[in-house]
Every structure is written in C-alpha cells, then in structure tokens.
Amino acid sequence: MFPVLPLLLLLRLPSSLQRCVFDEVQARVGVVRSAPSEARDPLTSEQGSPHPGGSLRKRSMLGEKAQPPQPIRVQTWLSRQSDSLSAAERGRLDAAVQEAVRTVSSLLSVIRVRGSLRLSRDVNKYCKFLWKNSSTVNYNRCGRANNNYRAETCLDVIIPDDHLDGCDIYPQPDSPHRTVLRPEGAGLPNTDFLLYVLVQATDKCRAQPEVLAYAVHCRTDPRGRPLAGVVVVCRETLRGAGYRHPTTVQTVMHELLHALGFSKDLFSSWRRCSSSYQDGAGCPPGGPVAHPDASGQTRLYTPAVVSALQAHLQSADPGLGAPLENQGAPPGGASSHWEARVLQGSIMTAALGDWATVRLDRVTLAALQDTGWYTVDLSRAQTLLWGHGEGSTFGSVLTCNSSPFFCTGSGLGCHFLHLHKGACQTDRYLEGCRMFKPLTNRSECFRKENSRLADDDLRGEVFGPDSRCFFSSLIGSPQSGGPGGSVEGLCYRHRCTGPNRFQIQASGSGWVHCPAGGSIQVDGYQGAVFCPDRRLCLHSDVLPLSDDINSFSSSNTSIRSELSSNTGTWSPLRPPAVASALCVSAAVALLAALVVSNRLCGSCRVRGHTVAPQHRSDL
C-alpha cells in the first residue's frame, strides 16, 4: 500500500473544505483531438501522413507483436509564466509534483507512445480556410494561413513549438506546392502524457480562497486518451509556516487524475475493453456510461465501477452505479466528482478535508480502468471505510440519518476514522446530512504535541501516534462508577489484539480491553468509554503517516529544489537531489548514538547527488 495522500490550502483549518472547480474550468478549454491521419501509430515510431485522398499511409505490422501496457510516463514542465518562486517554494513544488506523478505512474499502465510525443496544432487557429472540394488533391488541407496566428495554448499556458507538430499551407487546391507555416518540433521522448505546471496567483485563486489548484486536459489522441494538460497551482499553496507536503501531493494527484481522464467531458470517449486486451485500438467506444437513476441522481455505470461499489457496499444490486456529485451540475447532468454522501473520503470527491482522511480508493481506480486507456493495479487501492457494508441505499438524503456513519444535532464526537475529534456538521455537498468533521483546533489524536494544548487532564486524554478518538464520558474523580462528564470525542491510546479487537489506555491507567460495540469503565475515572465496532484494528492502511505531519516522504528526508539552469521559456521539473542537511542535524541531535545516526543517514548521503537536467518523465 502507498501512503495516504491529502489536499491543502495554506493555513486552512482541518475542518475546512477545499473545493475543486475542474468542470467549470474545463468547460472553457478547447480540446484538440488528433485526427487518425495525424496520429502516430502507438505500436510504431513512424508518423502517418495523409496522401491527397486523405487516407493514412501506414507501415505494415505483419508479424510484429502487440505492445503490452507499461507504466505511464508523465513528463512535467514548469511554465516560466509562473510567478517568481523562492528556492524553498520551488523545492516544495518539485517534491510534491514528482511524488504525485510517481504514485500515479505506479498505478496506471498504457500502450506507450513510441518515439517522441508531439501534440497536434489547432487547425481552427492557424488556418483561415480548408479546401473542401473532395475531388481536389488537397482536400481537407489548409489553403490560407491565419495571419493572426501566434501560438498554441493549453488553458492560459503557451505550448512551446518544440512540443508541437508542424503545419503547412497549400495555396492551390490541386498543386503539391506547399509553404511550411511552422516546422515540426522535436517532441518529447519517453513521454505518454505531458503535464504543464503553472504557479500563479490567478484571479480564480484570489476570488475563491478555498480553491487550491485546478487542472484541464487540452490534447487527446484519436481514441480520446488525454495526451496533455495543465495544472495551475495557486501561489499561496506553497507559502507560509502552515505548508504541508502531504496536502500538496494530494492536490496535484487529484488534479492529475482529472487531466488523465476522470472527466465528464471524456465519458463519451471511454472505451469498452476486455481485461485481456493488448492494443487499445481494438477496444470499441463504450457508449453512454452516465445517466440518471429513478431518483434523478446521475450515476456512472461501467463494469469495474459497478463491481467495486457492489463490493464496497456489500450489495448485489445490478443497478448500483457510482453516484456523481449533483451540486453544481445541471439537473440530470453529470459532474467529474463522486457524490460525497456515498463516497466521503475518496480522492475524487469535490471537496476534501484533512489529509489523513483522504483515500485513493478502489472505486476511483476502477473508473480509470474503465476508461479503456489504462490497465490499473486495483490491488493498490486504499481502504475506504466510509459506508462499507451499508447496502445500496446508503447515502440517500432521505435515509442518511439512520446510518451510524452520519450523525444528528450539532454535538461533539469522533470522525469516522477515529483519527480526529469531530463536530456534527453538514455542508453543501452533504445536502443536509451530517457527519462528524475534524475540529478546527487540536483535532488530531495522533499528534503528540496536541497534549500541550489540552486545557486539563481531568478527561484522561493521551495524544500520540497510537492514540485514537473514542466517544467517552470519562472524568477524573477519587470516586468511581459515577455518571461522569458529557459524552464527546476524547483521545486515548489504543493497541490491537486481533481483528476488531483492541485495548485502550487513559492517562495514568492500565490497558483495558474495549469490546467492539460495547462500553467500559476505567479505574480512577467516572463515566464510560464506548468502543467502536468495525472501525479499528481491521485495516492496516487506516493510519496517520507520522506524528510529524510536516513529513510525508516514507524516507522522512528533506527535499532540496533543483533549480533549472535553462534560460528559455520552459524548464522541466527534474528529479530533486536529496539534501544531507536532515542527516547532519540528526547526527548532531543523536551524537550519543552515533552508530544509529550514521545508519539512518547513510541512504541520504548516497542519494544526495545533483541530477543533471534531462527531458524525461521518470520523476
């Protein structure tokens, strides 16, 4: 399992919602889809070219084996249109983008592009008119150039000519004479998807502070698979003492998955492929995949998605498509996010909260599998505890309050993962249903430093990596067996003794067995602790990453920015060097344990070399 990945805004409090505006932004982008005559055959390095009749000249593939899917190669390019970044901000950006790309590349495989990837130009931009007489030699070729043509763009980002196909002008309908308007660029080798990164304090970022980043796709291949897109990272995301690397990774990953195909505008291009397909060319179009159910909720009905949701909710209902968020969508229309009431905590809901509560879940990976463009390692999905086993009606506005995953009133309790204290709240996406959301202050039970902020120790709370939230009325008293205090979410240590079996420990107490679904009393305290059922000690990946939430990397190393020495308009986001500063400070701090310190720092020193600039995607 890979680590839990989060979403962020600078100094945003844990209970705040960070909103995605992908559909709004994608709607104003013109997507250029390569025509078959322009496309590079995915199994060859030869560029097809049209002859006067408009058909495609292809090399014979007789006897050549089909290429199996391989991990997708995502190349990232930072636009020099970006705001000026400090070395620390550039380091944060590089590290977050590279980690998000590595994770996605480890999950998705494609039929790779051979040779260099070049993007198509928009004929409607560079051409004033096309020859439309089908009997002419130059049928469907450009006859006159648009004198106002300057550049190709993806969202507001200028695409370098070196990344683009060339374009020619044929002044006469039946003459082979042509004028080269723009020469063919070199393209990008070892690339299956090109992600342009722009860091700016855009008008949208300033007007909507809950928007952290946004993305689009702008170029696709002839079968609809996205080849290029842009992610705009709001400048404030990278600033300040409240910066969190895990949340930035989550931001980039969420937007990257949109750009790669989790988009309502691409649903009609998804392919219907068998699990054994080798060449995406053999997969027929999937047809309509999203339509409203009897209640008007638009759902995504594709084979892997339906199967994944049936398994999650433990329902055999054949009509159980995955519901799409209806807030912001037209009546009966689709959106590019999961319905929050049903798939709360999924990486592809429209609004995400604290980083430790977000999951790259199986339903999301199943949707990417059902695009037909990718093979996906579904075994790598993270556990989505929300709604597990609740049946096909789970998340309905009419019945949500009958489920233990939801709450009523406005009291205090525990978030359903029991990592945070919570308050019973609703939001625009829950549509009146309520759930326990992390509190705005010291909500994380797993952060040891929160113990310093506790008002007193009468409730017996203990904060630390192995602490979880429990509904409790414990209150310290020389007597025992009394009514205790109010019932609310409180933090105690826990340790697993078996599946759905655990013990707890309050401040100053011994370990006490806590029967799932029952309650216990603790010596030295009045009141009781209530033991959750099927929430703890069942899934090894429902864990906080670290007591130090500033550290997201599994190696717990700091990342040093490798600033590009390029002087042109573009620079690649290159693999960063790993700084040895953390190891040095650790050695000083642990001087008395020098041998242990040296062992910990050895791997840092080995990897602490400078990486030469390369135009490649193995970030």
> Which burial class, exposed, middle or buried, applies to 409 when counting CB atoms under 10 A from its CB (0-12, 13-18, 19+)?
exposed
CA–CA gap between residue 136 and residue 175 (Å, rounded): 9
- A 10 A CB-CB count for 461 gives 24
DSSP output for 191-249: -SEEEEEEEE--HHHHH-TT--EEEEEEEE-TTS-EEEEEEEEEGGGG-STT--HHHHH
Packing angle of the helix pair 362-369, 245-260 (nearest 10 deg):
30
- A 10 A CB-CB count for 373 gives 29
Tokens of 117: 């990837």
Q: By C-alpha distance, which of 164, 130, 162, 166 is closest to 146?
A: 130
Chain-centroid distance of CA 239 in Å reads: 21
> Which burial class, exposed, middle or buried, applies to 398 when counting CB atoms under 10 A from its CB (0-12, 13-18, 19+)?
exposed
Do residues 533 and 477 touch, judged by C-beta distance below 8 A? Answer: no
Annotated catalytic residue 339: no
Q: Across-strand partners of 559?
A: 578
Q: Provide the b/e sequence for 324-345 (b: ≥16 CB within 10 Å).
A: bbbebbeeeebbbbbbbbbbbb
Q: Which of 89, 152, 255, 339 is catalytic?
A: 255
Tokens of 507: 């401040």
Chain-centroid distance of CA 524 in Å reads: 46
**If you count them, how many residues does the chain have?**
619
Block residue for tokens 């995504």: 300
Strands 167-169 and 74-79: unpaired
Q: Give φ, ψ of 57 to 5 degrees.
A: -90, 120
Strands in 501-505's sheet, in edge-to-edge order, are: 512-514, 501-505, 488-498, 467-472, 529-530, 519-520
- A 10 A CB-CB count for 489 gives 24
Residues 6+ apart with CB under 8 A from 471: 413, 414, 487, 488, 489, 490, 529, 530, 532
Residues 6+ apart with CB under 8 A from 559: 91, 92, 94, 95, 553, 576, 578, 579
Tokens of 379: 């075994």
DSSP output for 143-197: EEE-TT---EEETTEEEPGGGB--EEE-SSTT----EEEEPPP--EES-SEEEEE
Compute the half-sphere exposure of residue 134: CA atoms within 13 Å on the CB side of its CA. 1
Q: Known catalytic residues?
A: 255
